[in-house]
């Protein structure tokens, strides 16, 4: 299916002008801060450039892609469904103004926003959009130069298999199962998908904190302020350690930057990568069998811990503010779109406060 979108007409109506005084009183609200922070033109160019290759004469109703992307942000910030968002826009002057809708214009319907989200997923645009937003935020001295943090968080799906778990399940940190046990998991997966219609067949079980969880894992790279720089989404049974290097690759981290991570990422391969690429090793030390941590290693871990915990606060804030940490959609690709969209929404939500704190300091 092709998707056609257009730029909105920027002609100001009499009704808009009449209400401009009311809008000016809200100049300092969050949505206005976002509009002042972001130049939407490169975002529009990025989406339209990729989308043009698939356009034809038939498609969805034509709307400006920025209007539609802002709708996705509003959904995330205010925890709204597609239908609830459509109703809220038609009732809210603040939302309409943020979207650039005139007083006589109504919201695109819920099916339009659903198709647009699917288009972004199919076109593989979410990672590029996150990079473009972060490029703009870097102009406000929000960057990775002071250090980066690595961690992962589970994203559970309600579309899980019925019945008891009859396989050996991967541990959250390290998958130490045999090849036979992994093959048995795939056979089990095929069976449970047939047994329960609607099961998310790309999700997987993982064992964490004495509980079984079914879903995906969100692997993230943030700066020391907790601003998300990169996201990789995998099935929940994917070892955190295996995604450490992929998170750093292509992240344009300057040489000499400290990379902080908890002891779950401690392995020779990861430490060797940091050394080879002239990055400071900030991975916490892990005690080994028959070898306790030295006093120096304990003190080093103690120094790293408070800084590294910033990324955990990022995960917690996304869960608390946006009700994240739970799949809204089925499938790996759609869940990745959700994870990246939540990261963009979080970055935009946090940045005005960071800028204000920096200016005061």
The three-state (H, E, C) secondary structure of 309-335, written as one string: CHHHHHHHHHHHHHCCCECCCCCHHHH
Q: Answer whether residue 51 is part of any domain.
A: yes
> Tell me, what's the pLDDT at 291?
84
For residues 167 and 294, state if they share a domain.
yes
Gap between the Cα atoms of 131 and 138, Å rounded: 10
Give 97: exposed, middle or buried? Use CB within 10 Å, 0-12, 13-18, 19+: buried
DSSP assignment of 19-38: THHHHHTTTTSHHHHHHHH-
Gap between the Cα atoms of 77 and 326, Å rounded: 15
> Tell me, what's the pLDDT at 162?
85
For residues 184 and 117, state if they share a domain.
no
pLDDT tens, the chain, 361 aa long = 444 444 444 555 555 554 555 544 544 489 999 999 999 999 999 999 876 554 543 344 479 999 999 999 999 999 999 999 999 999 999 999 999 999 889 999 999 999 999 999 999 999 999 999 999 999 887 877 789 999 999 999 999 988 788 899 988 877 888 999 999 999 988 888 888 888 999 999 999 989 999 999 999 999 999 999 999 999 999 999 999 999 999 999 999 999 999 999 999 999 999 999 999 999 999 988 888 999 999 999 999 999 999 999 999 999 999 999 899 999 999 999 999 999 999 999 999 888 876 655 5
> Tell me, what's the pLDDT at 4?
47
For residues 168 and 80, state if they share a domain.
no
> What's the number of domains the chain is made of?
2
Q: Answer whether residue 131 is part of any domain.
A: no
Q: Please enumerate, as own/partner, the contacts of 98-103 that have beta carbons within 8 Å and a separation of 24 or more.
A: 98/31, 98/32, 98/34, 98/35, 98/70, 98/74, 99/67, 99/70, 99/71, 99/74, 100/8, 100/10, 100/64, 100/66, 100/67, 101/67, 102/12, 102/13, 102/15, 102/16, 103/13, 103/15, 103/16, 103/19
For residues 63 and 156, state if they share a domain.
no
For residues 49 and 175, state if they share a domain.
no
Q: Answer whether residue 138 is part of any domain.
A: no
For residues 268 and 176, state if they share a domain.
yes
Q: Answer whether residue 303 is part of any domain.
A: yes
Q: Answer whether residue 3 is part of any domain.
A: no
> Tell me, what's the pLDDT at 174?
79
What does the pLDDT look like over 42-62, one tens digit per residue? 999 999 987 655 454 334 447
Q: Answer whether residue 130 is part of any domain.
A: no
> Tell me, what's the pLDDT at 20?
54
Gap between the Cα atoms of 143 and 115, Å rounded: 33
Q: Which residues contact 243 (CB under 8 A, 6 or more apart)?
A: 152, 219, 232, 234
Whole-model pTM? 0.88
> Which CATH number does the domain housing residue 320 bear?
3.30.420.10
For residues 151 and 248, state if they share a domain.
yes
Q: Tell me which residue range forms the domain holding 256.
A: 143-360
Q: Answer whether residue 315 is part of any domain.
A: yes
Structure tokens at 173: 């940190």
For residues 209 and 356, state if they share a domain.
yes
**Do residues 283 and 270 make contact, with C-beta atoms less than 8 angstroms apart?**
yes
> Tell me, what's the pLDDT at 32?
92
> Tell me, what's the pLDDT at 142?
82
Smallest CA-to-CA distance from 70 within 85, 83, 53 is with 85
> Tell me, what's the pLDDT at 26?
45
For residues 62 and 186, state if they share a domain.
no
CB atoms near residue 329 (< 10 Å): 17
Gap between the Cα atoms of 264 and 21, Å rounded: 55
For residues 227 and 322, state if they share a domain.
yes
For residues 208 and 171, state if they share a domain.
yes
> Tell me, what's the pLDDT at 103?
86
For residues 98 and 148, state if they share a domain.
no
Q: Answer whether residue 136 is part of any domain.
A: no
């Amino acid at each position: 299916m092709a998707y056609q979108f257009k730029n909105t007409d920027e002609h100001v109506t009499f009704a808009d002008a009449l209400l401009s005084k009311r809008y000016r009183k809200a100049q300092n609200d969050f949505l206005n801060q976002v509009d002042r922070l972001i130049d939407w033109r490169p975002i529009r160019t990025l989406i339209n450039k990729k989308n043009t290759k698939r356009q034809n004469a038939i498609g969805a109703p034509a709307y400006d892609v920025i209007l539609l992307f802002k709708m996705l942000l509003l959904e995330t910030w205010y925890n709204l469904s597609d239908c609830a968002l459509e109703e809220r826009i038609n009732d809210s002057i603040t939302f309409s103004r943020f979207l650039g809708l005139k007083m006589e214009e109504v919201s695109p319907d819920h099916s339009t926003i659903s198709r647009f989200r699917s288009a972004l997923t199919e076109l593989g645009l979410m990672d590029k959009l996150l990079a473009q937003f972060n490029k703009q935020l870097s102009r406000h001295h929000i960057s990775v130069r002071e250090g980066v943090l690595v961690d992962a968080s589970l994203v559970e799906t309600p579309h899980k298999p019925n019945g008891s778990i009859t396989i050996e399940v991967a541990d959250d940190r390290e998958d130490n199962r045999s090849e036979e046990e992994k093959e048995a998991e795939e056979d089990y997966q095929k069976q449970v998908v047939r047994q329960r219609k609607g099961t998310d067949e790309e999700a997987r079980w993982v064992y964490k904190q004495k509980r079984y969880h079914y879903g995906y894992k969100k692997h993230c790279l943030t700066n020391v302020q907790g601003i998300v720089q990169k996201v990789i989404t995998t099935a929940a049974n994917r070892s955190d350690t295996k995604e450490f290097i992929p998170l750093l690759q292509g992240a344009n981290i300057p040489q000499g930057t400290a990379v902080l991570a908890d002891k779950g990422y401690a392995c020779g391969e990861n430490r060797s990568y940091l050394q080879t690429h002239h990055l400071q090793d900030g991975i916490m030390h892990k005690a080994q069998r028959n070898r306790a941590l030295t006093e120096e290693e304990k003190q080093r871990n103690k120094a790293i811990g408070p800084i590294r915990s910033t990324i955990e606060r990022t995960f917690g804030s996304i869960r608390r503010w946006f009700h994240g940490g739970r799949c809204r959609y089925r499938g790996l690709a759609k869940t990745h779109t959700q994870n990246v969209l939540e990261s963009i929404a979080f970055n935009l939500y946090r940045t005005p406060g960071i800028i204000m704190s920096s200016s005061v300091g």
